[in-house]
Amino acid sequence: MHDKIDIGEFRIRPGQKLTSGDLMTSWSGPPPFDALAGKKLKKHAREFLEQQRAELSDVQERLYASDTHSVLIVFQGRDAAGKDSAIKHIMSGVDPAGCQVVSFKAPSAEELDHNYLWRCWKAVPERGRIGIFNRSHYEEVLVVRVHPAILANQRLPERLVTEHIWQERYEDINAFERHLARNGTVIIKLFLNVSFAEQRNRFIERLTDPEKAWKFSARDVAERKHWDDYDVAICEMLAATSTEHAPWYVVPSDDQWVSRALAAHIITETLEGLRLERPQLSGEERAKMADSLKSLKAERV
């Protein structure tokens, strides 16, 4: 069934002109997704996610064994879009030894004394491993753009803070990702897109459900006042930084189980495209293994 889902439907073309109306927050999908709703949709999406997790577990083992590529998965999205829960549900079947998650918060004093990509360079996954950025270097062209005071706190030379700074940062980010890709890192960027109304519902749920209250931040509600500003920043960022070597996928996220299933499918489909195989043993290695097996069977136990 999942072969019918074309991940290209969610991919942003390089340089594509975008408005917020071009970015899906909900998705009906091919059969049977298009005919389901409520509990039936949730059940089907969970079953589909389970299939994807099994595939991801297998491909992650091949990735680790081949030791030729690394994988960087970037999760971005508005507040309450479901980034944390998506990472938890998608990666729950992956061997922890082959996966790392880095959550980028407000930069520390040490990080502010370096260029804004410095902390990301340190977190890039090694060969054979999957690295996940929960938020990322893209905060530098989203939150920082919407809130100029953050840019001022970065203490850049005044002559470098011009009207071209966002375009320059797009160029820097593209060069950073191109370098990674040229050295064997597969980059998958997922923007979890939630609607204004659904975000409100999730904030209300956090305020009224004691088990979810810990997730609530008054700052998140304050950020809703900047929704339109974020619309502009998001659309421009997606168009300027979706490239052949590091594409953006916009994942409709008003339904969290569908969002998780689609995100998992995009990841597994991309990694399966690498056609990774477990290392093949040479004749000499197989002969040594045969000798070792013979020796073990001859032991008295």
Per residue of the chain (301 residues), give pLDDT as tens.
455 899 999 999 998 999 999 999 999 888 778 777 888 899 999 999 999 999 999 999 999 999 999 999 999 999 999 999 999 999 988 888 899 999 999 899 999 999 999 999 999 999 999 999 999 999 999 999 999 999 999 999 999 999 999 999 999 999 999 999 999 999 999 999 999 999 999 999 999 999 988 888 888 899 999 999 999 999 999 999 999 999 999 999 999 999 999 999 999 999 999 998 887 778 888 888 998 999 999 998 7
Q: Report the pLDDT value the prediction gives residue 161, as an integer from 0 to 100.
A: 95
- Determine the residue type at 179: H
The reported pLDDT for the residue numbered 1 is: 45
H/E run at residue 47? helix 38-66
Q: Are 17 and 239 in contact (CB under 8 A)?
A: yes
- The number of beta carbons lying within 10 Å of the beta carbon of residue 200 is 14
pLDDT at 164 (0 to 100): 97
Q: Is the dihedral of CA 83, 260, 193, 242 positive or negative?
A: positive
Task: Report pLDDT for 65.
Answer: 92
pLDDT of amino acid 245: 96
Question: CA 141 to CA 234: how far, in whole Å?
Answer: 8
Q: What is the pLDDT of residue 2?
A: 54
Distance CA 238, CA 208 (A): 34
What's the confidence (pLDDT) of residue 238?
Answer: 98
With a CB cutoff of 8 Å and minimum separation 6, the contacts of 46 are 257, 261
pTM of the model: 0.92
Helix axes 165-182, 227-241, angle to 10 degrees: 40
Strand partners, 131: 72, 100
CA-nearest of 182, 247, 188 to 14 is: 247
* Helix (H/G/I), strand (E/B), else coil: 52: helix
> CA-CA distance, 184 to 16, in Å (whole number)?
26
Question: Considering only CA atoms, which of 27, 36, 37, 35 is closest in space to residue 6?
Answer: 27
